Amino acid sequence: MKKTIILFTLALGVACAANKYTVTLFQPSVINGTQLKPGDYKVAVEDGKAIFKNGKTTFEAPVKVEDAAEKNSSNTIRYAEGSKIQEILIGGTHTKLVFGAGDMTDTPSVAK
């Protein structure tokens, strides 16, 4: 019984960690009309939203999580129209975060 509890706790910890990532922006970038400054961001994905945190700055954007066909070798940011982030591929995983696709709106927001 004790082994089951430990395995469950370990699995729960891995599942919780699976939706948190660190992403570095090397240039000013835009998601849903909001400009993000270059820097390191912690990104948590919850309920169809990506929550970006950089110091005291927090920003949320609708996101669609998809599985990439191949494992991503490193974090890769794909831009459209210059500085608009279209996708973030998470290194070491098959995870692809897609912004501004399908039924998601392109409503401007303010980074807090």
Q: Is 9 helix (H, G, I), strand (E, B) or coil?
A: helix
CA gyration radius for the chain? 16
In a domain, 14, yes or no: no
Domain that includes residue 40, residue range: 19-98
Decide if 33 is inside a domain. Answer: yes
Number of domains in the chain: 1
Residue 34 lies in a domain: yes
CA atoms within a 13 Å half-sphere pointing along the CA-CB vector of 59? 22
Residues 57, 108, 79, 41: what is their CA dihedral angle, to the nearest 10 degrees?
Answer: 10
d(CA 20, CA 24): 14
Averaged over 65-72, what is the pLDDT?
Answer: 94
Residue 13: inside a domain: no
What is the per-residue pLDDT for 44?
Answer: 97
How confident is the model over 21-64, as pLDDT tens digits? Answer: 999 999 999 998 999 999 999 999 999 999 999 999 999 999 99
The vertex-89 CA angle with 62 and 40, nearest 5°, equals 80
Residue 42 lies in a domain: yes
Residue 103 pLDDT level (bands cut at 50, 70, 90): very low
Asked if residue 104 is part of any domain, the answer here is: no
15 falls in which pLDDT band (50, 70, 90)? very low
With respect to residue 77, please indicate whether it lies within any of the assigned structural domains: yes
**For residue 43, what pLDDT is reported?**
97
